[in-house]
């Protein structure tokens, strides 16, 4: 009977399935699977309240089946009850703490919360997610920052004696780059206090743990925090002293790593600490600040150069990302395997050839390889530093279907590969001629091949344009000191100014991010009509915009309710004219190459 029920559900015959399920429950009233099928059918028939009650009964019968928890939580989200969804999934984390689907579900629920007060009940769930080794928790940045600012441990003025007891703060500093300006100011105060305490000989374990977490935060944001003259003086005076034992060496290393990336030459010190009573304390610092950069340095020689790089602008862009690889991502979601990019034209191909043109530090190719291990991925970039970062991350995930190569989009034909899929996110607009780069990619795309690319919006990019004009007027260079100087001007700008709006970009909160945001050597901006014209000239057909937030898409469909309206560039262009900030994260265009071109 169970097979028949599953078949009816697959065929969308929900009422017939319910009749069979009720018969089954009469024979076996404690069958959790029957209740689960019944809940699924009730949900499909829009009997939401009954579906929720049925799922709850199912969990009573089979409490350790976390997949049922996930389905019920999703149903609660559909009825806008995030609180109940959180409770269900948090209970599931207790039963299956290492289940990535449960953790991802909890992250999804938490990311939808916008509390205006400190909520102690969600702290443990947030900490569970932050401490996960295989989930991307960057979407929790806003919620974490919000809760930390409201927490009693981090109220202003910030004190070590309070902050060191916050497990949320420790997890946050260690895993997520802070993207909140007010919280940044408190963290700067806290770092200054930690420096004073360490120089004063503090050996309190909780204070040392907090200092370690601060080291990780500052390393991840590439030491973007402002440093006062007093701190500089204290650091210089302290670091000229002789250190006589491991305790003093540990304190020295913590003070250094809170303010600058340590030299690889200090590796013997960290190795000696790892075999001492400080081993647990310095484990993460050793991994992130020493072992991983050393691994990337070793991997550089394994990156093959597959095309020539002769264009002057390409060489300038290459130098930027050699110095500041971007983005410095930490964790990519471990997700269930699926088949990507399958269409009627390639469904019978056992393996699709995919090019990530301008892959940066490898987030996109690693994400795709985790989703679909049948893809044959070529990840190409100008910067060997970025490619080494990506290759290290791919090795961590034991991925074998990514080939990292150095090359220029202008000479991509030198790869001698016809690709089924080409992805090019945020790259073309930094080329001397974006259209020449666009044409170069289309020439190595198979007929009916998928082309996804992202470009800056002229309208949404105006705060950055204002900053770029300021950079030119003041003669700022893309170096650490000048990047920090620009940030201070943004922080001190009038709150109603275009410049102040930059603080709402996550990229503002790291050195490589801020450089990528404002200090590019070349930048072109577009509107959707220009993109449409460029695509038409090269035989590329628009199929839609991706990465559009649900609320934006819903607003669009209210204005353009016709079936297929989202596949018309003119509609989206008109929509943007009325909602100027909707594409601040770039236009993400999905398209394909016409077979007759």
Helix (H) or strand (E) segment spanning residue 81: none
Question: Would you say the C-alpha torsion 169, 107, 296, 271 has a positive or negative sign?
Answer: positive
Where b means 16+ CB within 10 Å and e means fewer, 389-409 reads bbbbbbeeeebebbebbbbbb
Give the other-Cβ count within 10 Å of 131's Cβ. Answer: 16
Which is nearest to 321 in space by CA: 482, 505, 516? 516
Instruction: Report the SS3 class of residue 359.
Output: coil
Two structure tokens written together for 216: 């990780």
Find out whether the peptide bond into 157 is cis, omega within 30 degrees of 0: yes
CA distance 124 to 106: 11
CA distance 259 to 238: 13
- DSSP 8-state code for residue 60: H
pLDDT in tens, the chain (597 residues): 566 888 888 889 999 999 999 999 999 999 999 999 999 999 999 999 999 999 999 999 999 999 999 999 999 999 999 999 999 999 999 999 999 999 999 999 999 888 989 999 999 999 999 999 878 888 899 999 999 999 999 988 889 999 999 999 999 999 999 999 999 999 999 999 999 999 999 999 999 999 999 999 999 999 999 999 999 999 999 988 877 788 999 999 999 999 999 998 999 999 999 999 999 999 999 999 999 999 999 999 999 999 999 999 999 999 999 999 999 998 766 666 778 999 999 989 999 999 999 999 999 999 999 999 999 999 999 999 999 999 999 999 999 999 999 999 999 999 999 999 999 999 999 999 999 999 999 999 999 999 999 999 999 999 999 999 999 999 999 999 999 999 999 999 999 999 999 999 999 999 999 999 999 999 999 999 999 999 999 999 999 999 999 899 999 999 999 999 999 999 999 999 999 889 988 999 999 999 876
Lateral strand order in the sheet of 587-593: 304-305, 402-406, 376-381, 353-357, 419-425, 445-455, 587-593, 540-545
Phi, psi of 449 (to 5 degrees): -70, 155
Residue 104 and residue 333 in contact, taking contact as beta carbons nearer than 8 Å:
yes
CA distance 52 to 58: 10
CA distance 339 to 350: 11
CA distance 574 to 582: 12
Residue 206 confidence (pLDDT):
96
Taking only Cα atoms into account, the Rg of the chain, rounded to an integer number of angstroms, comes to 26
Q: What is the secondary structure of 130-198 as a DSSP string?
A: HT-SSS--GGGHHHHHHHHHHSGGGPSSP-HHHHTT-HHHHHHHHHS----HHHHHHHHHHHHHHHHHH
Torsion of CA 61, 64, 68, 74, to 10 degrees: 130
Say if strands 419-425 and 353-357 run parallel, antiparallel, or are unpaired. parallel
Which is nearest to 285 in space by CA: 231, 362, 217? 217
The whole-angstrom distance between residue 379's C-alpha and the CA centroid of its chain comes to 18
Largest CA distance in the chain: 82
Say if strands 304-305 and 353-357 run parallel, antiparallel, or are unpaired. unpaired
CA distance 34 to 36: 5
Which is nearest to 174 in space by CA: 223, 126, 215, 125? 215
Residue 157 confidence (pLDDT):
86
CA distance 448 to 592: 6
Residue 335 confidence (pLDDT):
64
CA distance 347 to 349: 6
Residue 116 confidence (pLDDT):
87
Two structure tokens written together for 190: 């806290």
């Amino acid at each position: 009977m169970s097979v028949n029920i599953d078949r009816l559900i697959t065929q969308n015959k929900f009422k017939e399935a319910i009749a069979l399920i009720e018969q089954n429950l009469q024979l076996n009233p404690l069958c959790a699977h029957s209740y689960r099928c019944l809940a699924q059918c009730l949900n499909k028939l829009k009997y939401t309240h009954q579906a929720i009650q049925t799922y709850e009964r199912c969990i009573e019968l089979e409490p350790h089946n976390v997949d049922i928890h996930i389905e019920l939580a999703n149903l609660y989200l559909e009825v806008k009850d995030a609180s109940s969804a959180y409770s269900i999934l948090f209970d599931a984390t207790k039963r299956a703490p290492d289940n990535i689907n449960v953790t991802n579900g909890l992250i999804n629920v938490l990311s939808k919360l916008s509390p205006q007060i400190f909520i102690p009940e969600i702290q443990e769930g947030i900490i569970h997610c932050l401490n996960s080794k295989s989930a991307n928790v960057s979407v929790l940045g806003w919620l974490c920052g919000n809760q930390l600012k409201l927490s009693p441990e981090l109220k202003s003025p910030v004190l070590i004696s309070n902050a060191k007891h916050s497990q949320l703060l420790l997890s946050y500093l260690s895993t997520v780059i802070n993207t909140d300006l007010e919280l940044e100011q408190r963290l700067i105060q806290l770092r200054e206090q930690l420096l004073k305490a360490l120089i004063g000989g503090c050996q309190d374990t909780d204070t040392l743990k907090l200092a370690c977490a601060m080291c990780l935060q500052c390393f991840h944001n590439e030491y973007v925090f402002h440093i006062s003259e007093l701190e500089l003086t204290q650091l210089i005076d302290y670091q000229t002293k002789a250190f006589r034992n491991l305790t003093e060496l540990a304190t020295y290393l913590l003070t250094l790593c809170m303010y600058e990336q340590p030299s690889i030459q200090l590796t013997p010190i960290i190795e000696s600490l790892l075999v001492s009573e400080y081993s647990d304390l310095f484990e993460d610092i050793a991994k992130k600040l020493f072992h991983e950069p050393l691994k990337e340095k070793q991997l550089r020689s394994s990156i093959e150069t597959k095309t020539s790089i002769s264009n002057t602008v390409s060489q300038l862009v290459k130098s930027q990302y050699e110095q500041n690889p971007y983005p410095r991502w930490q964790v990519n979601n471990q997700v269930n395997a699926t088949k990507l990019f399958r269409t009627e034209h390639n469904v019978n191909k056992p393996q699709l050839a995919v090019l990530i043109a301008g892959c940066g530090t490898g987030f996109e190719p690693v994400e795709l390889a985790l989703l679909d291990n049948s893809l044959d991925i070529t990840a190409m970039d100008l910067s060997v530093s970025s490619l080494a970062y990506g290759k290290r991350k791919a090795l961590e995930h034991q991925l074998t279907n990514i080939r990292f190569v150095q090359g220029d989009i202008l000479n991509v034909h030198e790869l001698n590969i016809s690709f089924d899929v080409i992805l090019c996110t945020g790259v073309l607009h930094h080329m001397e001629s974006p259209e020449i780069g666009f044409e170069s990619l289309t020439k190595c795309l198979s007929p009916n091949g998928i082309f996804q690319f992202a470009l800056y919006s002229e309208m949404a990019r105006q705060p950055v344009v204002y900053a770029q004009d300021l950079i030119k007027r003041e003669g700022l260079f893309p170096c650490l000191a000048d990047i920090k100087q620009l940030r201070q001007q943004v922080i001190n700008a009038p709150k109603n100014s275009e410049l102040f709006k930059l603080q709402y970009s996550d990229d503002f909160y790291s050195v490589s991010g801020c450089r990528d945001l404002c200090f590019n050597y070349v930048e072109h901006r577009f509107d959707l009509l220009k993109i449409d014209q460029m695509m038409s000239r090269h035989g590329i057909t628009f199929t839609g915009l991706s990465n559009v937030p649900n609320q934006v898409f819903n607003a669009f469909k209210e204005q353009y309710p016709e079936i297929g309206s989202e596949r018309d560039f003119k509609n989206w262009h008109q929509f943007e004219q009325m909602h100027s900030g909707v594409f601040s994260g770039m236009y993400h265009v999905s398209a394909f190459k016409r077979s007759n071109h």
